[in-house]
Amino acid sequence: MRRITSRLALLAALLLAGCAADSHSSLPAFMRAKEAAPSPPESPPDVPLLVRKNLDMIFVATTQPRELEASIARRADESDAWTACVRAQIISASGAPLRRQTYRLTIKQNEIIDRRRAGSGDDCMSQKYNAVLASK
């Protein structure tokens, strides 16, 4: 009887002290710590809305971007961020039209965290683009 009581006291002390066993322990299932459920995947961002809200961050305001187009967001391979491409016809500081400029956006938690000119490795040339309508 004394032996059972001491084992129960030891087990209670371990549990009360926060030493609960992990999911790989040899303790019975009801005594093991529960594994955390994976967080639900982030839904794809609304790229046209982000482009409209952050137009001055993507393109210099003096370039007067027009004919805006954006690709759909794709999950970035190396992280939990999203990538999208945006392009527009812009003008130079002197007012002369320039060729269409394309930028690669990195989006995380519905915010643009990085923007850079699209390069050959960004896969922006093969993307399908949709017009970004002006906000109403």
Confidence band, pLDDT 50/70/90 cuts, at residue 74? very high
More confident residue, 87 or 4: 87
Mean pLDDT of the chain: 83
- Domain residue extents for the chain: 2-31, 47-131
Q: Is pLDDT of 129 > 70?
A: yes
The residue to which tokens 């002369």 are assigned = 96
Alpha helices in the chain (DSSP H): 2-16, 47-53, 55-58
Q: Given pLDDT bands bounded at 50, 70 and 90, which one contains residue 136?
A: very low
pLDDT in tens, 31-45: 777 777 766 667 899
Q: What is the pLDDT of residues 88-117, one digit of tens each?
A: 999 987 888 888 999 999 999 999 999 999
pTM: 0.67
| Residue 55: closest CA among 43, 44, 70 | 70
Cα–chain-centroid distance for residue 1?
Answer: 58
